[in-house]
Structure 1
Amino acid sequence: MSRIAIVGGHGKVAQHLITTLVTRGHTPVALVRKEEYRDELEAKGAVVRLLDIEQQDAAAFAAAFEGCHAVVFAAGGGPDGNIERKRTVDLGGSLKSIEGAQKAGIERFVQVSAIGVDAPLPDDTEDVWKAYVEAKRDADAALRDSGLQWTIIRPGGLTDDPGTGLVTLAESVEPGQVTRSDVAAVLAVCLDEDRSIGKQWELVGGDTPIADAVASA
């Protein structure tokens, strides 16, 4: 059994991940900025620690990771039009998580990104979407260069439909949708599968059972 720190621990994917990790015998450590989330997440089986992604520094991240064996970065700046939060959460939060893991001596790091963020953006791309894509792209590049034992999962469009347990997972896939539950299940399998280290995969719904998809990708 291992303790898995989840940055952005109250997010929708993170909450599915908490449940999945508990089922797989791990202890999820949910890092959240509001005390009011504690009861809800503890009821799901998580240990809850407070961490303000935007206001606290990498040393605070390292302290929040104490006793953990791996970090999952699952935070996001939200769907609103706040360009600055794409930089402070999606990018800045990832950079501080990477540095915090290094300070804490944690080698394993799994990051939730987004499909297609390395592709060039058209000149007429809307500013908020441009900021989001650039933040995810730069965060992934920083993780690949970090020296950590990284895995990057880049889901397609996220839905709240029930998980299917069936996905398509590869370095590049055709754009599509995937349930948040299935994303969480892929993250959990990757954490237990050393062959996923050093891999960057795009993820959409498909026909392959998740464990088989990770093993074959």
Structure 2
Amino acid sequence: MRVVIAGGHGQIALLLEQQLAARGDAATALVRNPDHFGDVQSAGAVPVLCDLESEDLDSVAAYLNGADAAVFAAGAGAGSGAARKDTVDYGAAALFASAAVEAGVRRFVQISSVGIESAESPDVDPEFAVYLKAKKMAEEDLRGRDLDWTVLRPGRLVNDPATGLVTLAEPRLPRGSVTRADVAAVVAELLSARNTVGKTLELVNGSTAVGDAVRAVL
């Protein structure tokens, strides 16, 4: 399987690239900074210079040609400001999905966030609300596309070692945390999990092995 990953230098993306390489799959990582090529190569993926905030549709689609699946793992990050949350968390996601349609890559996994339903709440920090609104718009955009999509909403992300044990279900799960390594493991499993097509899934650490949790989604 060849997988193209947007946001290919992100923490989850690098862990995903390592897991894909370990099982013999090929990953192409779209990154916007050539200084990050070494990290991507060390993770076992092929880096491609691509800034989704400035590339056009045809250019992005060209990177996806011949791929079996696409993963959107990009994010503007904390402290990036409202404008970049709109252009990355929503705009780049929509562009990447459009490129997948143009390139004929049907399998599409989008990493989103829990808390989408709180995007309009006055109790949410304004900067975080902008982030949630952008993620919500990206989800809504994806659902309208002719793709075999799955939206994954991880809980609070932590950098602890992988546990291999998760809870994965349709919204809404009780709030909880999940390791980035376990998120990457779930994404790797989702890529070939036809039972998750057209579903929005929330993810926290739990008591079920990753493979079993993915297979159990109905």
Interval of TM-score (by shorter of Structure 1 and Structure 2): over 0.9
Question: Does structure 1 retain, via aligned residues, the 8 Å contact 2:15–2:43?
Answer: no
2:216 aligns with 216
Aligned counterparts, 1:129-208, within 5 A: 129-171=128-170, 172-208=172-208
Question: Does structure 2 retain, via aligned residues, the 8 Å contact 1:81–1:128?
Answer: no
User: Which amino acid in the other structure matches residue 32 of structure 1?
Assistant: V
Q: Deviations over 1:4-42 (max 9, x none)?
A: 000000000000000111122210111001111112211
CA distance in 1, matches of 2:205, 2:88: 27
The alpha carbon displacement at 1:187 in A equals 0.2
CA distance in 2, matches of 1:59, 1:111: 20
Aligned counterparts, 1:1-217, within 5 A: 2-119=1-118, 121-171=120-170, 172-217=172-217
CA distance in 2, matches of 1:122, 1:96: 28
Question: Does structure 1 retain, via aligned residues, the 8 Å contact 2:119–2:133?
Answer: no
CA distance in 1, matches of 2:134, 2:51: 18
TM-score by length of 1: 0.96
SS in 1 for 2:99: helix
The alpha carbon displacement at 1:116 in A equals 2.4
Q: Deviations over 1:60-112 (max 9, x none)?
A: 21012122111100000011151111100000010000111111111110000
Distance 1:145 1:32, change over 3 A: same
The alpha carbon displacement at 1:120 in A equals 5.5
Q: Deviations over 1:119-159 (max 9, x none)?
A: 45322433211110001011011111111000110001000
CA distance in 2, matches of 1:23, 1:152: 24
CA distance in 1, matches of 2:118, 2:144: 19
CA distance in 2, matches of 1:129, 1:52: 23
Moved more, 155-164 or 190-199: 190-199
Aligned identity (percent) is 43
CA distance in 2, matches of 1:121, 1:176: 21
Segments of 4+ moved more than 6 angstroms: none
Total equivalences in the alignment: 216
CA distance in 2, matches of 1:143, 1:66: 19
Moved more, 66-75 or 149-158: 66-75
Distance 1:47 1:120, change over 3 A: closer
